[in-house]
Amino acid sequence: MTEIATSPGARRALTIFFSSLVLFLYVPIVVLAVFSFNDGDVSFPLAGFTLDWYRRFFSNPKILQSLERSAIVAAISSVIAVGLGVTASFALLRRRFFGKSAVSALLFSPLVVPYLVFGISLLVIFTAVDKFLAASTGSYIGLGLHAVVIGHVVVSLPYTVLTIMPLLERLSVDLEEAAKDLGADPWQSFRRVTLPLLMPAIVSAFMIAFTLSFDEYAIASFLAGETPTWPVYLFAQLRVPSQLPQLLAVSSVVLVASLGVVLAAEIGRRLAERRYGDDLRPAP
């Protein structure tokens, strides 16, 4: 079986499959980016080159506001999710407590529950809480960006834990013990020893959570209320054909910015691993 898997025919088949997958994933994106420079509708043949759609996008306050909302929600929810992810990772790997398996299953349940179900559930919860508060105190929480942040923290948390736990598992506990022997308290040991070693995973977890939150539509569509995020605004504007070239221009800018951030994060992660690599022990 091993010889078949490593045979020249298998390698050619794998190369063809991988190339087809890359074309399937990225050719449509390239085509859409090309149309963002087209001086006409989104159709062939191309009418000519123009930057007018980009000028309109940068002067459209509704688009800019929706992008700003998405960035704010993604940043806040990612910071919270990463903080909770670090705490949960330490609890699952370094602590023993009753019901650990149940807590782990509950923590990772958002990976298998559809986002549509989460959105509806959170909408029902916020509505019920608002009715209770209105009847008892005359106040209410309401829908908006704060509700979207809560929903995105819930669905981002499992990804941050799964990103941080493998590196934390490789960290030798002896490093923390050595810091304590030298007089460091638990907080100083974490801040000066463990946190720098975990930084590559923390940066990766933040980027995953940020990207997930920025592009998420199902939960935001139920909880955003009158403050739509970028995916909600984009879906609503797709019904207007005249707005499509401008939306393609926005999407192209978002794509390039995302690639730049991911590339910078990957470079930073590799530099950090190269710097702290000697302090990591091989995974058992």
Q: 85-104 pLDDT, tens per residue?
A: 988 888 888 777 777 788 88
Flag whether 284 is in a domain.
no
Flag whether 96 is in a domain.
yes
Flag whether 47 is in a domain.
no
How many CA atoms lie within 13 Å of 181's alpha carbon, on the beta-carbon side?
A: 6
Task: Look at residue 149 in the predicted model and tell me its pLDDT.
Answer: 92
pTM greater than the 0.85 cutoff: no
CA angle 63, 155, 93 (to 5 degrees): 140
Task: Look at residue 3 in the predicted model and tell me its pLDDT.
Answer: 56
Note whether 42 and 243 are within 8 A (CB): no
Flag whether 172 is in a domain.
yes
Which tokens sit at 97? 């407590």
Note whether 233 and 217 are within 8 A (CB): no
User: What is the extent of the structural domain holding 125?
Assistant: 61-279
Q: What is the CATH number of the domain that holds 85?
A: 1.10.3720.10
Number of domains, the chain: 1
What is the spatial distance between Cα 24 and Cα 255, in angstroms, rounded to a whole number?
A: 17
What is the spatial distance between Cα 213 and Cα 211, in angstroms, rounded to a whole number?
A: 5
What residues contact residue 27 under an 8 Å CB cut-off, 6+ apart?
A: none
Flag whether 6 is in a domain.
no
Note whether 213 and 154 are within 8 A (CB): no
Flag whether 78 is in a domain.
yes
Flag whether 40 is in a domain.
no
Task: Look at residue 282 in the predicted model and tell me its pLDDT.
Answer: 44
Task: Look at residue 62 in the predicted model and tell me its pLDDT.
Answer: 86
Residue numbers of the chain with a pLDDT score lower than 70: 1-7, 40, 42-43, 172-177, 179-186, 265, 268-269, 271-284
Flag whether 32 is in a domain.
no
